[in-house]
Structure formats: C-alpha cells, structure tokens
Structure 1
C-alpha cells in the first residue's frame, strides 16, 4: 500500500472498530471532536478519502467503488477484520459501494445523512452545472456559497467556527478532486438493493431540514433493511456531527453497543 495512506489515517482508542468516512470537500477533521468520547469504548478510525484532506495524490478514478477499494486496503493494513462503517454524505455513498463489494467485513453500517438512492435527473444536471462553475470560477468561489447552506439556518450563528473550518477544508481541496468527486457522485448507481439484502444492521441518521438528503428520500429507504434503526432530527441540516453532536453520538453509541454487546 502507498505510504500516503499513513498521512491520512488516524486511529485512536481500543476495542471494537468504528470507521468514519467524511463527505464531499471535507476531510477526517470533521470527525475529530465527534469521535473523541467514543474512544473510551471503541477503536475509532478516521481517514481522508482519495482526493481530499491530506490524501491528494493525483488520480484518474474518483468513483465510489475506487474509494471503497481504498478503504478496504486501509483496513487490511490496520488488520481490521470487522467494523461498523459510518459514512457521512459522499462517505455514505462510499459505504454503500463498500457494502456491495466487501459486505463480509461489516458488522453494521450507519448512513449518516446519506442515501442509497442515485441522483435524480435534476440532481445530475445540477452536478453538471457545478462542475462547469468550478472549472470556470475555481474552487474558492464555489466553496464560498456551498458550505453555509449545509447548516440549518437557526444553527449558523452558534456554529460560525465550524462553518469557517468547513470552508477552509473545502478551499484546500484540489480542483481535480472537486470535479472528479462531483462526476462520481452523479454517476453512482442505485444501491437500494444492498439495503434490502443486508445481513447486518443499519442505522440511518437524517436531518429534517437537510437540503442534500430530503425527508422524502429518507423515508423511501429507511424501512428497506431487515434490521434498521432511523433517527430523525428536527432543526438539523446536513452537518449533524456539528449541529446535533451529542444526540447523534449517543444514537451511534447505542447502535454499536447493540451490535458488539
């Protein structure tokens, strides 16, 4: 495995393993404060997905499947044989690709404000427009308008520091990764069959005011697995690890304890 992996993985704590995958134009830093209390009971792994954070070596493939392969290789290197995978937004799309290819490695999966559904035609067109905007105007201009709407309007004032951190992470993302990530999210397939066929438990975390995963999309999928829990949060946008950190952490902790015993 490439040495670059060592730059972009952090593992803390001991016990059963929880693996956290960040979203688009984010990095493992979004999980830093969130996972700290969990390290008293679990081994937590956060990593930078290819193209993001400290993992920005040039690549030709930004597909969800390719990122899932990267996660699998990283877990092999760390000698993790079974884990609960927690994927936020794009990290959830990667988690679904991982479940399709390497479901035998999963004890459970948390779609943290994410979806197994493909992009609608309208969303695909919006991704195309965003790629065009980024290529014409640059990453910084895109990030300036992209980040704040991810947070519920009533939470923005108290979370100015987190919003600023997200902007800095986004602005540091190479243009190739932004365009490649957008195209890969646009092209990802419908993976609701993975939810229906899952032989491991699932936890869904949704924000009722999430602009990226609307409530209707959430309701279409949370009943599909044979064993699932769903947690809906009012006055919460797309960034519940900041907006509702305590509640989401407790939900995840309970889910993990149910699985690991």
Structure 2
C-alpha cells in the first residue's frame, strides 16, 4: 500500500492505495466509521490486496488526517473523495463503507450517481430523512458535550466493547481510540461534528437513492443506536440484499472478517 496525501482547504487527507491490478479493473474503496481510522479495514486490505485494486483513507480530522478544520459537510467529504478518485484515475469505484463510511458512500451516490460501480454498507444505515425521528436528529446535533465530559476511561471501555464482540475487534478499536488518549477534546470534536453533519445531511431531504448494485451487511449483535432496525427497514423498502452476521457487533468486518470478505468478494464478482 502506498500512502498519499490530498490537500483540501480544511487540511490534508491521508490515504493508502494499491492499483497493481490495472485501471481497467474495479477498485474497492474502504471508508471507516466515525472515530475509526484506516486500520479498521486491516483484515480486508490484507485479503484483497493482490486480488483487487484497493484504497482506504483516514477520514478528515481522523488519525493522520489532522490537523483539520471542522467546517465541512458530509457532501464535502464525498466531493473530496471524488477528487481523490479522479486524481488516481479510478473509474470503477466500489465503495465499502462501515457506519459513517456508509453515509459518505450514499452522499457520493447522490452527487455522482453514474460513477459508482457498486456499494456495500457495513453496519451503516440509510441516509433518507424518513428513517429517523425528530428526537434522534435533535440528539445527533448535540453529542459533542457528551463525548467531551464523559470520563475517558469509561468512554474507552464502552467505545471498544460496545462496537465489537471479538477479542480482535475490541483490541483493534482500543488501539484506534488510544490515538486520542490525552486529547479527549479532539475526540469529542470529531464525534460531535460527525454526528452533526450526518443530521444535517438527513435534514436536507435528498433522495439518496442507490442506483448501482448494492449489498447490506449488519451484525446480529449490532447495538450501536438503532442500526438493526434501520437495516431491516432499508432492506424491506428497497429490496437491497442483506446479510446478517452471526455474533458480530457494529464493526462486523472485524468480528467476522472471513465471512465479510467472502461477501464482498462474491459481490465484486457480480459487477
């Protein structure tokens, strides 16, 4: 994997890429969830590197993509992603987004519907306004103080055990969270801003239709928010195929990497 840097008006985005399979082939674009970084997809990169073109980033403000000004929207993230794809001459992107990464993928699909070759949602949820309640939107826009004043040790514990069920998944998330050890204010800013721009994107009331082939993946023990409820409704309303991962939590790609990798591989072969 080759590390690259893309400069934006708000800061630099770090990403890692391998295009050895050639530009005519699809490229798997891995987008980690809120507060997580590129390491969230280590098991996927390890499996697919050498089989497919792959790209993964540290989202704006996260890990190495810092310092960064928090005055951007979800659509800005999607536009910057497209800038990176254009810069790298990637013409057949398949976005694989975990949680917040899935929302970025839907924003990308809204802005560039004809560019996206495929979309895989991992423990994410639909971006349409009708899936969320008013109180959920109200809470999303007011989460920064919660993360800022919550005792760090307790936050570290809930932030690792609450998103993963496996020892590997929990250990990895603990390591990722320790990036912000001693800088809880930054962690809270990342989380708070992320939830805020998510709520604003939902309130925009855009269609956010997925026009390309898609696959939903969700852990059966995903207790992050109302993720299970959202995915059931998403599947029912759109007919997008859904795979439920047994004994997996919100980071199902770290709890059951072999199963998730197989699902992604089978999906990619259909494109």
Query: Is residue 9 from structure 1 mapped to residue 15 from structure 2 by the alignment?
Result: yes
2-structure distance, mates of 1:180, 1:139: 19
Among 244, 247, 269, the alignment partner of 1:257 is 269
1-structure distance, mates of 2:180, 2:17: 23
Alpha-carbon distance change, 48 to 182 in structure 1, aligned in 2, over 3 angstroms:
same
Alpha-carbon distance change, 220 to 43 in structure 1, aligned in 2, over 3 angstroms:
same
Contact 1:26 1:170 in 2 (8 A): no
- Show CA shifts across 1:59-91 (max 9, x none): 242421111111111111111122111111011
Q: Secondary structure at the match of 1:181?
A: helix
Q: 1:146 is matched with which residue?
A: 159
2-structure distance, mates of 1:23, 1:220: 21
2-structure distance, mates of 1:41, 1:18: 10
Cα RMSD (Å)? 2.6
Give the number of equivalent residue pairs: 252
Contact 1:62 1:177 in 2 (8 A): no
Alpha-carbon distance change, 60 to 163 in structure 1, aligned in 2, over 3 angstroms:
closer
TM-score by length of 1: 0.85
- My pick for the range that moved more, 8-17 or 128-137, is 128-137
Q: Secondary structure at the match of 2:49?
A: helix
Contact 2:122 2:217 in 1 (8 A): yes
Among 161, 183, 193, the alignment partner of 2:171 is 161
Q: Which has the higher helix share?
A: 1
Contact 2:126 2:231 in 1 (8 A): no
Alpha-carbon distance change, 241 to 217 in structure 1, aligned in 2, over 3 angstroms:
same
Unaligned residue ranges in structure 1 (runs of 5+): none
Trace 1:107-118 onto structure 2 (pairs within 5 A): 107-117=117-127, 118=129
TM-score by length of 2: 0.82
1-structure distance, mates of 2:62, 2:152: 13
Query: Is residue 187 from structure 1 mapped to residue 200 from structure 2 by the alignment?
Result: yes
Q: 1:74 is matched with which residue?
A: 84
